[in-house]
Homo-oligomer: A and B are copies of this chain.
Amino acid sequence: MTDIKSYMEEKLLQFEPYMLDRVQLLQAPDSLKEAMAYSLQAGGKRIRPMLLFAALETYGQDAEKGFDAACALEMIHTYSLIHDDLPAMDDDDLRRGKPTNHKVFGEAVAILAGDALLTYAFEMVASSKLYSAEQAVKLISMLAKAAGPSGMVGGQVADMEGEQKALSIEELEYIHHHKTGRLLAFSVMAGAFIGGADEQDTKRLETYARHIGLAFQIRDDILDIEGTEAEIGKPVGSDESNEKSTYPSLLTLEGAKLKLEQELDSAHEALASLNRPAPLLKAFADLIAKRNS
C-alpha cells in the first residue's frame, strides 16, 4: 500500500490548494467563506476525490481533468457532514477531532455554509473549463441523483427513521447504499465517464463501487467497536450507546468481518473483469477495507 499512499500524497498537494482557492476567490461575505473553508479543510481523507482520480487514470487521463468534479464531490460530502452534525440532527460537537461547524460559527451560519457548499458544487461543474457542455450536464445529473432525495438525502431520512428500531440487513443495506454508497459510487463513475470508459466497463465499475461502498460502511462499524478515539476522532462505541443498528449488531463482530472480506473480494472480482488493469482502484479497495480511521 506504499504506492497508493504516495500517489495520494502527491495528488493532494495539487488538489487541496486548488479546491480551497475556489472558495477564497468567491465574492461572498468573509464569514461565510471562512465557515465553508473551515469544514472543507477539516482533515478529511479525500477518499472520494482520490477514487475519481484513480478511475480517470485507469482510462489514461490525468487526475487534473477531474479536479472540478472532485471539488464538487468534496463540497457536497462536506455540506452533508455540516448538516448532519447540527443539533437537530446528530448533535455532534466533534468531527475528526475538531469542533463541528456550528460549534465554531453558530447554527445559522452552519446551515448556510452547508447550503452554500451544495449550491457552489453545481456551479463548479457547470462553469468548469475542463468539460464539454455534454459532459458537464451528465456529471451534474449524476451528482444530483447521487446526492439528492433519491440518493444521499433519502438515505439520511431512512437512517433517521430507522434509529432505535431493529432493522433487517436489507434495510441497513438500503440506508448505507443511499446515505454513503451513492456518493462513493459517483466518485468512481464520474472518473470512468470523464475517462471515456465503455458501457461494459462502466457496469463493472458500478459493481466495484457498490461493494467498496458497503465495505467502507462495515469497516466504519467495526472501527466504532475496535478503534481508538485518537484514531477515529470521535468517541468509540457511540453507535452502541445510540442503540443504532450496525453490521456487528446484526451479524456479530465476526460476521461483520466476514462480510467485509466478501465485499472486498467482490470488488476485486469486478476489477479483474475490466478491459484494462486497474492497480490504483485495486489498492483503494484494500485501503478502504483495512483503514484504521
How many copies of the polypeptide does the oligomer hold?
Answer: 2
CA A147 – CA B116 in complex, angstroms?
Answer: 8
Residue of B nearest to A79 (CB): B115
CA A145 – CA B145 in complex, angstroms?
Answer: 20
Instruction: List, in ascending order, chain B residues with CB within 8 A of A115's CB.
Output: 79, 83, 114-115, 118, 153
Instruction: List, in ascending order, chain B residues with CB within 8 A of A285's CB.
Output: none
Report the stretch among A58-66, A134-142, A188-196, A234-242 that lies at the interface: A134-142
Asked whether B119 lies within 8 Å of A147 as measured between CB atoms, the reply is: yes
Q: Which of B88, B118, B136, B149 contacts A26 (CB 8 A)?
A: B149
Query: What sequence of 0s and 1s flags, for each residue 132-162 of chain A, a beta carbon within 8 Å of any chain B beta carbon?
Result: 1110111011001101111001101110110
Report the stretch among A103-111, A209-217, A246-254, A273-281 that lies at the interface: A103-111
Q: Which of B36, B109, B134, B144 contacts A119 (CB 8 A)?
A: B144
Please tell me if A31 contacts chain B, counting CB pairs below 8 Å: yes
Q: Which of B29, B119, B153 contacts A116 (CB 8 A)?
A: B153
CA A51 – CA B130 in complex, angstroms?
Answer: 33
Q: Which residue, of A31, A108, A133, A136, has the highest number of chain B Cβ atoms within 10 A? A: A108
Q: Which of B29, B83, B141 contacts A158 (CB 8 A)?
A: B29
Please tell me if A120 contacts chain B, counting CB pairs below 8 Å: yes
Please tell me if A122 contacts chain B, counting CB pairs below 8 Å: yes
Interface size class of A (residues with CB under 8 A): 35 or more
Please tell me if A89 contacts chain B, counting CB pairs below 8 Å: yes
Please tell me if A1 contacts chain B, counting CB pairs below 8 Å: no
Instruction: Write the residues of chain A forming the contact surface with B, with a CB cutoff of 8 angstroms.
Output: 26-29, 31-33, 36, 79, 83, 86-89, 106-109, 111-112, 114-116, 118-120, 122-123, 126-127, 132-134, 136-138, 140-141, 144-145, 147-150, 153-154, 156-158, 160-161
Q: List 21 A-B contacts (CB under 8 A).
A: A26-B149, A28-B149, A28-B153, A28-B157, A29-B161, A31-B157, A32-B154, A86-B88, A88-B106, A88-B111, A115-B115, A118-B118, A118-B119, A119-B144, A119-B148, A119-B153, A122-B122, A123-B145, A126-B138, A132-B133, A133-B134
A36-B149, A133-B134 are known; give 13 further A-B pairs, CB within 8 A: A29-B154, A32-B157, A83-B111, A83-B112, A89-B111, A115-B115, A118-B119, A119-B144, A119-B147, A123-B141, A127-B141, A132-B133, A140-B140
